[in-house]
Structure 1
């Protein structure tokens, strides 16, 4: 995260001994069956979580009339509904629910001048006019950049349900807060450090370092998933400053927590000592033939599905060739996940990737059949012997539907077909839209993996493609949002330069209630765009 990016540690405190003894101190809760999830289509009036629904698919089939042209230039504004200043960087959100907009940022441009210095911040605004309502401010961890990289702020996108929201702070805490802030009274804990009327009302918090022994690497970034009464998160457990050891391999990587109390229901530490770097993906949910599953991308490059009620492993899938090797930098061939699994018609779509500081390199885009039941004791649904042909006899028990990526022949324009990605997929009308970190947007057939088109954004991208009103919106690191006609033929409708200078659009643009929301850095601003 050097300057703008998550990167390897330069120096910090290793807390192995302290962390190892704290697990038993936190209460646990008995497991209970997980109810059916919300609809797989976002409903009008809300985009309440990262990806809109538990399937995590960045698709809005409700809204129409979203602009494809606008201007943020002072004195030349066009289709700007409102804008709101943020900190200096902004990764979390935008999330829209209950007439409010939530984002994760930092404290470089303080809302409260009495709160000084580097912090992680959730900000809440009125959806109608952008009025600032309240903020949740979190101090930095004492361990330094190995656990909480400076000025990166709060990267989690909140999950909002009713009058509560859940997010993961930069301090590796799972936090439940009231949507109303302290101005409406204190409904939860009474030990908030920041307690003015424009501060957050914290209901409960689970310190995953203190009580679960987690050692987050660089930044805690998971966007929680709530199903029924349970919150699911990836803890962010990772390696130490030397990038050689996992300080606490017994700490959980995946946890289920009671959404009302913060009590831990179950944990899983499967990657353990095999974690390669950090864990920055977020969980997704699927229900197949009445069987629910919560799905995580792990820091060892494997995808795992668990029974939401008790944490029983249902299946796992290796997203890398067996001969791949993880090394720091662009030469490494084994990767993990910064992207989040996306579920569409009983299939899972995800791309492998690495910390962007490691550079560009070979990646893999997968389509996985989540209805497949493993036949081996390891519950492994991976392709066999690095044969990525789903029709191969050795893959008869694999969940592989198709694969795109890997090394390319010499006559190909690059050394690989698909590069590392930190973007989640967008799947609509039988098409997958997937972006590489290098700024190549791909459109493929969702059933077969056939490539229909590729587009070079001419800039790196951290953003994910977003579908609304027959169009794909795609942000990039040069501050542009490119708008494409959705479909099998490449058709660029327009490119909007959101601002001049070293501007970035690193979060994903999202549309809700006729308005497109996106965040820029340099200047760090939340924009609401609507046709006027």
Structure 2
């Protein structure tokens, strides 16, 4: 799709194809960070447009996926040298707006400014907003023009998990620090204060895997193999339990169960309930870093060397 003569270094645990594409009827948008973004006709395979002029030193490889809302596709670049978010017209690829990250990182070390999170569009107080976590802070942007609606400075770096929204709260994984996970009231304006934070959690939180919000419960499986269930309204830990393996891929929910895929190749299944119950453990492949996906009644898994389709 793109020819790059001298690609940047990428970490052994990352790849050049880590960003998840966005698909709509007849079109797919693919994104490889600074290496290129394109819209492709799914029937003919023809490129409808492409951009290869957006520069960013990813340092350890790209990881943030594109998001589409309305007429725009939103791209996140939290690199070593530059940190910004931008919108392109999804039909033409032309730049609609671009905003540099408005935060004091408190360091000149570009490695501490990187992040890999994918934003989410929510509607709160009758207003659409693009919620984008990154190193040190989370900003909610107006999708149409990129104006800042609100900002929370929470610390942390390498934010990777996508924000969650429910129960009138935005749940953000900061990627580290004493407030690794925070629940934000999204109706405010400008720089939010402690009164706009419903609760904080400084332990058990994953650095890489995303969380799952089911009603008033949040389920997590962190990097070191600790599964947990939280009260989404208060942040109270309802239970936590260790499962075997280490985890970078995000767990997935289906039919009342949480499925987790470890780097060692173990697939664990436990109930999405107020009491921990391990349902199954299976060995499959040589380990997983990519997150699973669902297609109708099939579970699609990508290991370090194979792609699996598991049918119910």
Aligned partner of 2:311 in structure 1 is 530
Alignment length (residue pairs): 306
Aligned partner of 2:148 in structure 1 is 313
Q: Distance in 1 between matches of 2:280 and 2:129?
A: 39
Cα–Cα, structure 1 residues 438 and 202, in superposed 2: closer, same or farther, change >3 Å?
A: same
Aligned counterpart in structure 1 of residue 218 of structure 2, from 426, 432, 438: 432
Match runs of 1:103-252 below 5 Å: 137-140=1-4, 142=6, 144-145=8-9, 148-149=10-11, 152-169=15-32, 171-180=34-43, 184=44, 200-207=45-52, 210=53, 212-236=54-78, 238-239=79-80, 246=81, 249=82
Aligned partner of 1:402 in structure 2 is 199
Q: Distance in 2 between matches of 1:349 and 1:427?
A: 9
Structure with the bigger RCO (C-alpha within 8 Å, sep 6+) is 1
In the TM superposition, structure 1's runs of 4+ consecutive aligned residues that sit over 4 Å from their partners are: 148-151
Q: CA deviation at 1:438?
A: 1.8
Match runs of 1:31-50 below 5 Å: none
Q: CA deviation at 1:302?
A: 0.4
Q: Distance in 2 between matches of 1:442 and 1:264?
A: 41
Consecutive unaligned residues of structure 1, counting only runs of 5 or more, are 1-136, 185-199, 240-245, 321-333, 355-360, 384-394, 406-416
Q: Distance in 2 between matches of 1:213 and 1:520?
A: 30
**2:258·2:272 contact (CA, 8 Å) conserved in 1?**
yes
Aligned partner of 1:109 in structure 2 is none
Greater fraction strand: 2
Q: Which has the larger radius of gyration?
A: 1
- Indicate whether 1:494 and 2:280 are aligned: yes
**2:269·2:279 contact (CA, 8 Å) conserved in 1?**
yes
**2:130·2:142 contact (CA, 8 Å) conserved in 1?**
yes
> C-alpha deviations, 1:476-526, integer Å up to 9, x for none?
111111111111110111111113xxx2122222333111121111xx211
Aligned partner of 1:504 in structure 2 is 287
**1:363·1:421 contact (CA, 8 Å) conserved in 2?**
no
Aligned partner of 1:17 in structure 2 is none
Aligned partner of 1:474 in structure 2 is 260
Report the TM-score when normalising by structure 2: 0.90
Q: Distance in 1 between matches of 2:55 and 2:104?
A: 14
Q: CA deviation at 1:256?
A: 0.8
Q: Distance in 2 between matches of 1:511 and 1:480?
A: 18
Cα–Cα, structure 1 residues 351 and 260, in superposed 2: closer, same or farther, change >3 Å?
A: same
Q: CA deviation at 1:317?
A: 0.9
- Indicate whether 1:351 and 2:173 are aligned: yes
- Indicate whether 1:441 and 2:227 are aligned: yes
Report the TM-score when normalising by structure 1: 0.54
Q: CA deviation at 1:336?
A: 3.7
Q: Distance in 2 between matches of 1:228 and 1:301?
A: 28
**2:11·2:60 contact (CA, 8 Å) conserved in 1?**
yes
Q: Distance in 1 between matches of 2:260 and 2:55?
A: 38
Q: Secondary structure at the match of 2:281?
A: strand
Aligned counterpart in structure 1 of residue 180 of structure 2, from 364, 367, 376: 364
Q: CA deviation at 1:214?
A: 2.8
Q: CA deviation at 1:230?
A: 0.6
Consecutive unaligned residues of structure 2, counting only runs of 5 or more, are none
Q: CA deviation at 1:231?
A: 0.4
